[in-house]
């Protein structure tokens, strides 16, 4: 027998034992088990009904996942034309800002690369000068003290 058969909302030995144990441990647990025994079948139907209603209510929302809803109409042609022009202007501004950000990111990346290159060159100069001083002027392997 599997667990779902043991804990079905009915007066089975397992559900009665859990209800009694729930009252002994913490009385609200006992009441919760009693409610499950009495109303469990209704809860399953209630859950199914709520899920179906919610799915139906939000089914239309999947169409409008873009940035703007351009098909929205108020019924006033002048307002809809103005709104469309403003949205296009804002989209153009967003595109310009995105381009400026990309340019700035490239600039910062090049600055970091130049700084890293400078630090690496300085490290190599110091490393080579330490090697020459330790080995009498001939560069060989880097030695640490």
pLDDT at 134: 76
| 9 close to 40: Cβ distance less than 8 angstroms | yes
What was the pLDDT predicted at 97?
A: 94
Token code pair at residue 65:
């996942």
Instruction: Tell which phi-psi region holds residue 136, choosing left (phi > 0), alpha (psi between -120 and 50) or beta.
Output: left
Query: How far apart are the C-alpha atoms of 76 and 47, rounded to whole Å?
Result: 42
- Where residue 137 falls (left for φ over 0; alpha for ψ -120 to 50; beta otherwise) is left
Q: What is the pLDDT of residue 33?
A: 85
pLDDT the model gives residue 1: 47
* Global confidence as pTM: 0.37
For residue 16, the model assigns a pLDDT of 87
For 80, half-sphere exposure in the C-beta direction (CA atoms, 13 angstrom radius) is 9
CB neighbours of 23 closer than 8 A, spacing ≥ 6? 29, 30, 31
Mean pLDDT by groups of 10 residues along the chain of 145 residues? 60 86 89 84 71 72 54 83 94 94 93 94 92 66 52
The pLDDT of residue 37 is: 83
């Amino acid at each position: 027998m599997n667990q779902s058969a043991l804990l079905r909302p009915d007066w089975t030995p397992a559900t009665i034992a859990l209800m009694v144990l729930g009252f002994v441990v913490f009385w609200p647990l006992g009441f919760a088990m009693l409610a499950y025994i009495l109303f469990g079948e209704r809860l399953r139907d209630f859950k199914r009904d709520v899920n179906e209603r919610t799915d139906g209510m939000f089914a239309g929302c999947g169409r409008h996942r873009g940035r703007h809803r351009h098909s929205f109409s108020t019924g006033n042609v002048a307002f809809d034309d103005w709104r469309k022009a403003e949205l296009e202007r804002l989209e153009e501004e967003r595109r310009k800002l995105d381009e400026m950000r990309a340019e700035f990111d490239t600039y910062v990346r090049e600055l970091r690369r130049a700084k890293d290159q400078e630090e690496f060159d300085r490290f190599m100069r110091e490393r080579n000068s330490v090697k020459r001083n330790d080995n009498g002027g001939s560069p060989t392997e880097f030695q640490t003290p």
